Structure 1
Amino acid sequence: MQLPVQAVAATALIEVVRISALPTKRGAPFPGEVVTHWAESEAADALALIETLPSSEQHRCGFSPGWSIRAYEDTLDLALFEAAFCFNCHEVRMHGTAVPPTLATQFFDATASSAQTLLALFREAAL
């Protein structure tokens, strides 16, 4: 999976969000509870893991994401990007100031070991 390179390099903090609904307007943050924060090496490791997610074909489920990450630089102002993951249809939707249109919608193999590791990290964060 491709992430915005400059945003990844600038990321100092990641919020992990357990999504509760879809946003009411395009580009708005996905609503839900922030279950944890990853900083420094945890954030870098999570982004590296996400970048290893293999591509997949589109599956149809209507896009019902359960988890998202919001990446922030050290000023913690606006999120550089948010990526919402649907492990049913294998789709990731990203938005934010650092996200070019070509990266906004991607598909990943949710059955791959890297995807299952990411899902496990999300679930562990919610405990």
Structure 2
Amino acid sequence: MIENLPGSVRHRCGFSPGWSVRAYEDSLDLVLFEAAFCFRCHEVRLHGTAVPPALGTQFFDADTPPAHALLALFRAAAP
């Protein structure tokens, strides 16, 4: 689902991510990647051992159906 988010341009809000996804290796000791999403500035920041530096900051269109679906999943998973 994340891979299919449409691209976007940078917006300004100061990057205040409200949601993230984290993946671990089998031992759960090493974080392979974390993707932190800010739906206000349409930015996702990725870091971890599986993330090439060139992919560390990306932008997505938060006003599209795929982004709305992802946000709905995040909200449904929140306690």
Choose from 5, 10, 13 the match for 1:61: 13
Q: What do you get for the CA RMSD once the two structures are aligned?
A: 0.8
1:111 aligns with 2:63: yes
Report the counterpart of residue 124 of structure 1 in structure 2: 76
Distance 1:54 1:102 in 2: 18
Report the counterpart of residue 96 of structure 1 in structure 2: 48
Task: Output aligned runs, 1:17-96, within 5 Å.
Answer: 49-96=1-48
Q: Deviations over 1:45-84 (max 9, x none)?
A: xxxx000001001100010110011111222121100110
Distance 1:120 1:110 in 2: 12
- Give structure 2 stretches of 5+ with no counterpart: none
Identity %: 75
Aligned residue for 2:37, secondary structure, equals strand
Q: Please give the TM-score of this superposition, normalised by the length of structure 2.
A: 0.95
Count matched residues.
79
Distance 1:77 1:96 in 2: 12
Whichever residue aligns with residue 115 of structure 1, its letter is A
Q: Please give the TM-score of this superposition, normalised by the length of structure 1.
A: 0.60
- Give structure 1 stretches of 5+ with no counterpart: 1-48
